[in-house]
A = this chain, B = another copy of it.
Amino acid sequence: MRRMSAFSRDDLLQRDREDPLAFTRDWFQIPDGVVYLDGNSLGALSQHVRARLEEVITAQWGQSLVRAWNAHDWIDLPARVGAKIAPLIGARANEVTVGDSTSVNLFKLASGALALRPGRSVILTEAGNFPTDLYVLQGVAEASGGRVRVQALPRHDLIGALNDEAALLVLTHAHYKSAALWPMAEATQAAHAVGALTLWDLSHSAGAVTVDLNAAQADLAVGCGYKYLNGGPGAPSYVFVAARHQERLGQPIWGWMGHAAPFDFTDAYAPAPDVRRQLAGTPPILSLSALDAALDLFADLDMSAVAAKGQDLVDLFISLVEARCAGLDLHLMTPRDRALRGSHVSFAHPQGHAVMQALIANGVIGDFRAPDIVRFGLTPLYLRHVDVWDAVETLRHVLTGRLFEAPRFQARQAVT
């Protein structure tokens, strides 16, 4: 490998010309003058999604009206979208369905899992996990009336703390700040060794790194539709329940879409026999259709090639920062080993918030995470090598004062 400092911008343009995945960028509508390094927070709009939404709004809703539930099979959209997500996460088509938010789905799965481990009192998770994961688990514990408690421990203490009190191990596969990946198979095996179940949050990994739930013998998972899957703002979340658990795993929100026969309109709830019982109410069809279309873009891609490109971009970003921003107080928070991280990279900087405001003002869109972290998502489907060069150059100019613009107000942060 050449020393990065020897690279020029032209070298990276050449690398883009040789990139076998370069063509996927054309699917997306990236605004002029923007280097978009926040696809790990909100994925970009594609022409395919835009066209599908036009069709769903004007033809399906506008013309078919209520008949669209049958004519355009809206009723099976959760299952169809689930089947498209399955190959991205190492699941079978009948193990995934889609609806509700990640928070609501975490609530359902965690509540259901506790009922499968009635004698056990601990939900184990990582301190500093994504906040909504921690909050939802705290709520589940509260709802248990004291039977269950949440134990949130630092990463290095977590596996050692597994014992026969543990009902459930809840981990985010790629950490939202550091991008550090949990070794899914090893963690799952450790949980199973003490009789606990595992619940994985794939929000910051699926669609950018390879995920293989069944190879890891994972039990349950949720994930977000609007980050690397590009399903649009607030796109519904997916649920994975391993086939072996589907018949026994209940969930507390007994909505009609989870009923065995929703159109019988009977007075008594009877859960669907399969993963469909994880649904609750009527899903948001516009948002769900956007996600459905966004997933089509993955259909013919080799996910390992996509993930490898993402890691190449992360490597490139780190190398360029170290070569061109040396001595400028950036401290890498992300693992150097590409096998141990997701597709974003984070650095601590004492003025992280102001630095990110200045970057955004100059067209490099990443985000800030308290207390001092600047985070950059290296989305493999629409980023070029030259984008990484331009981002790091902008960062260098900001840090050396040439582009520094103190924010005039403390802007509210973007949504992760």
Please give the residue numbers on chain A whose beta carbons come within 8 Å of chain B beta carbons, in ascending order.
29, 31, 34, 36, 38, 41-42, 44-45, 50, 53, 57-58, 61-63, 65-70, 74-75, 100-104, 107, 111, 127-128, 131-132, 134-136, 138-140, 142-143, 145, 152, 226, 232-237, 252-257, 259, 262-269, 280-288, 290, 360, 365, 367, 369-370, 411-415
Q: Which of A70, A107, A266 has the most CB of B within 10 A?
A: A107
With A107-B280, A281-B101: A31-B65 Cβ-Cβ less than 8 Å: yes
Contact yes or no, A281 B102, CB < 8 A: yes
Contact yes or no, B139 A269, CB < 8 A: yes
Contact yes or no, B265 A131, CB < 8 A: yes
With A101-B282, A102-B281, A252-B143: A50-B57 Cβ-Cβ less than 8 Å: yes
Q: Which residue on chain B has the smallest CB distance to residue A255?
A: B103
Contact yes or no, A284 B69, CB < 8 A: no
- Which B residues touch A412, using CB under 8 A? 69-70, 75, 263
Could you show 17 A-B contacts with beta carbons less than 8 Å apart? A42-B61, A42-B69, A53-B53, A70-B414, A74-B234, A103-B254, A103-B281, A107-B252, A132-B255, A134-B267, A134-B268, A135-B254, A135-B259, A139-B253, A143-B252, A233-B285, A234-B288
- Which B residues touch A280, using CB under 8 A? 101, 103-104, 107
Contact yes or no, A104 B103, CB < 8 A: no
